[in-house]
Structure 1
Amino acid sequence: MPTLSIHFDPAVFAHLAKAGGDDTVHVTLSLGGGEQNSSPVAPVVPHGPLAELMKAGLLAEGTILAFHQRRAGRQGRAVVTSDGQLIVDGQAAVFPSPSKAAEAITGNVINGWTLWQLPDGRTLDDLRRDLAQGRHGG
C-alpha cells in the first residue's frame, strides 16, 4: 500500500482559522512533484457546459455561485471546480451542469443557467450572453 502524504501551505490553516462555524471550506488536492513523482502533472482543462466561460476568462475556478428562491424557501450555494463542474453544499456528488446542480437542491427540473448567480448578481446566463457577444474577461 503506498503512503499518502498531504502537505498544506500555511495559508490554508490561516483561512480555516478565519472561517466561521457555518462556512464551507473547499480544499482541492492535486498530484505534486515529490522526489518519487518526477513526472509533470498536466494542467486541468475545463470541460462540459461551463468550459467555454472558463476558457474565455468569464468564470474562474473557486467562484462561489448562489441562488435564493424566496417564495419556495430554497437557497443553494456551489463552487466552480477547475474542470468546470459544480460542488454543491450538502451534496455528495459533483455536478457537470448548472441545471443538474440546481435540480439537486430544488428537486425540480430547472434552468440553472438563469438561477445561479455570481457574487456580483450576474447569472451564468448573463456570462453566456457576454461570451456570445464577444465580451471576454481575459
Structure 2
Amino acid sequence: MPTLSINFDPVVIAHLLKASGDDTVHVTLSLSTGAQTSSSSPVTPHGPLAELMQADLIKAGTVLTFHQRRAKRSGRAVVTADGQLIVDGHASPFPSPSKAAEAVTGNVINGWTLWHVEGVGRTLDDLRRELDSRTSR
C-alpha cells in the first residue's frame, strides 16, 4: 500500500494557527513522485489575476471581500496560487473575479469593481489601474 506524506510549508502552519473556528481554510494538494519531494515546481498563476500576482499586488492567500448593504449581501473569496478564487460556500474555484461575484450575487456583475482586498479596502480594479500606470511609464 502506498504511503501518503503531507508536508506543510511553515507559512501554512502559521496561517492555520491564526485561524478561528469560523474560518474556512483551503488546502491545495499536488501529487509528485518521491524523487520530486524536495524541489517541487512552483505554481504559475494564469487567467485574469495573473498579472496582478506577478506584480506582487496580490498573492496566493489574499482575502477578497465585498458587502452590498442595500441587497444585504456579502462575499468572501481567497486567491489561489494559480490565480483563481475560492468563494466561501462553493466547492470549486472560479477563474475570474466576475464569475466569483456572480456565484455569490446570482447576477452578472463586474467582479473587478466589487471585490476589495481585505484590510486594504482597494478594489481589484484599483490594483489593475495601478499596474497599468506602472507599465505605461
Matches within 5 A, 1:1-138: 2-8=2-8, 12=12, 15-31=15-31, 36-38=34-36, 40-119=39-118, 120-134=120-134
How many equivalent residue pairs?
133
Whichever structure has more helix as a proportion of its residues is: 2
- 2:49 aligned partner, one-letter code: L
- CA shift digits 1:7-62 (9 cap, x unpaired): 446775565454322111222334567xx324743221111000011111111111
Rounded to whole Å, the distance in 2 between the matches of 1:80 and 1:53 is 11
Identity among equivalent positions (%) equals: 71
TM-score by length of 2: 0.84
Change (3 A) 1:17 1:107: same
- 1:134 aligned partner, one-letter code: R
In structure 2, runs of 5+ residues without a counterpart are: none
Change (3 A) 1:134 1:10: closer
Rounded to whole Å, the distance in 1 between the matches of 2:8 and 2:79 is 21
TM-score by length of 1: 0.83
Change (3 A) 1:16 1:54: closer
Moved over 6 A (4+): none
User: Larger relative CO (CA 8 A, sep 6+): 1 or 2?
Assistant: 1
- 2:22 aligned partner, one-letter code: D
Change (3 A) 1:19 1:71: same
In structure 1, runs of 5+ residues without a counterpart are: none
Comparing 88-97 with 18-27, greater Cα deviation is found at 18-27
